[in-house]
Chain A
Amino acid sequence: NAGVMQNPRHLVRRRGQEARLRCSPMKGHSHVYWYRQLPEEGLKFMVYLQKENIIDESGMPKERFSAEFPKEGPSILRIQQVVRGDSAAYFCASSPGEGSASGGYTFGSGTRLTVV
């Protein structure tokens, strides 16, 4: 029973490059959430998606960041023209239904992005 799969586990990018982070939700889950964790800080919500729809992107930076969850395949968090401040751990979570009514969220192991 595979959980939430995130890849890559570690990603190193030079400033100005693009970073693509992938998240495959748990089997049977159709709701995906992306969070960013900075050192000494908690998890900050970025975006909530269902298949082919962005439900809430209130936590996404206005520029350079985008997310998608296509009908087929994993959810992708894309960061264009990365800067050093983008270095963080990015976690994906999934749930079978809408939020807490479905009993909680299952998290992936995260992608640790380092911008050099």
Chain B
Amino acid sequence: AQSVSQHNHHVILSEAASLELGCNYSYGGTVNLFWYVQYPGQHLQLLLKYFSGDPLVKGIKGFEAEFIKSKFSFNLRKPSVQWSDTAEYFCAVNVGGSYIPTFGRGTSLIVHP
């Protein structure tokens, strides 16, 4: 079965710092990749997704992610974080042919003003 690893469980940054959250998955075939954000007390919202094409994906709120097939990675980046980016971030992977995304454990990001 596929698995999704988010190695950074808690990240604390100051405003304007750069962000990179790691996501690795364990499956060698076709995958679809997602990053979701969950603000405190709210539901998950889709930040960005990768299905095919350009491996550098631009999402909402200035986020981007790069799919590196050889590394089985889909890391999330933002050049300059804001206090309002404080949230839980989840990486999810759909294995080709599966209807059900597998989620990583999540990374809690706290941004200090």
Contact = CB atoms under 8 A, between A and B. Distances in A.
Contacts of B102: 45
Interface string B76-99: 000000000000001000100011
Interface string B1-24: 000101000000000000000000
A110 B43 contact: yes
A30 interface: no
A107 B44 contact: yes
B105 interface: yes
A48 interface: yes
B68 interface: no
Contacts of A44: 103
Contacts of B94: 99-100
Nearest to A50: B99
Interface in A16-62: 31, 33, 35, 40-45, 48, 55-56
A109 B63 CA distance: 22
Interface string B31-43: 0101010000011
Nearest to A103: B49
Given A100-B51, A100-B94, A31 B99 contact: yes
Counting from the closest, the 3 A-B pairs by CB-CB distance are A99-B99, A100-B32, A100-B94
Interface of A: 4, 31, 33, 35, 40-45, 48, 55-56, 91, 93, 98-100, 103-110
Interface of B: 4, 6, 32, 34, 36, 42-46, 49, 51, 90, 94, 98-106
5 contacts: A4-B43, A43-B44, A43-B90, A56-B100, A104-B34
